[in-house]
Amino acid sequence: LVLFLTGVNVGFLPAGNFLASELASNYNMLLIPLGIVIGYFIVIVEPSVHVLVKEVETITSGAISQRAMLTGLSIGIGLSVCISMVRVITGISILWFLIPGYVLALALTFVVPKIFTGIAFDSGGVCSGPMSATFLLPFAMGASEALGGNVLMDAFGIIAMVTMTPLITIQILGLVYKKRMIEAGEAKPIDKIEAEEDIIEYEEANLANE
């Protein structure tokens, strides 16, 4: 923990702040594409993400692969950083993104397989881990300060965006999965997993054996 916090204070915080400040001062429109790239790849170095995708692949017997999960999460985080950079440059309120985003995420819960809903909401918390918070937040703050914006209004909220977008992208992945299984006319492995995990009361099991 000491080594990690030292690395954060010496490396990630100053690097993120300096990089964004320099770009915003000279080439502010590059913040958007660079934000997409940073968001896409920062998921790969998030330790908790690797734990999640491995567990998902194991519990679904490979039906949801690590590669598919990482791709979905990377797209989501890239999108969230992109939107955050647009906010920093334009000063648009975060509510214009958060409210429709969460409405869409909640609407998707009614049409995707249940397991994808659970994974999506867990992914939102996992992606906003130590790597994201220690680099993306200083990155947004540095850009906002260089552009003369309101740091409290424009920079803060990037972690909220990082938490929200996986809810959408992973559930969209669930829709794609569901559609492909229906087109193939195959029994869904996800449905089998859900059926096997029905809770059996201990007393009822004993009565049945007797």
Token pair for 51: 């734990």
Task: Work out the percent of the chain whose per-residue pLDDT is above 90.
Answer: 24
pTM: 0.80
**Taking the CB of residue 154, how many other CB atoms lie within 10 A of it?**
25
Using pLDDT thresholds of 50, 70 and 90, give the confidence band for residue 79: very high
What does the CA dihedral 12, 17, 20, 23 come to, rounded to 10 degrees? -110
Lowest mean pLDDT among 35-39, 62-66, 103-107, 186-190: 186-190
Mean pLDDT of the chain: 82
- pLDDT, residue 197, reads 46
Would you list the domain boundaries of the chain? Answer: 2-209
| Residue showing tokens 């099991």 | 205
Residues 170, 120: Cα–Cα separation, whole Å = 5
Sign, CA torsion 144/145/148/151: positive
**Taking the CB of residue 167, how many other CB atoms lie within 10 A of it?**
24
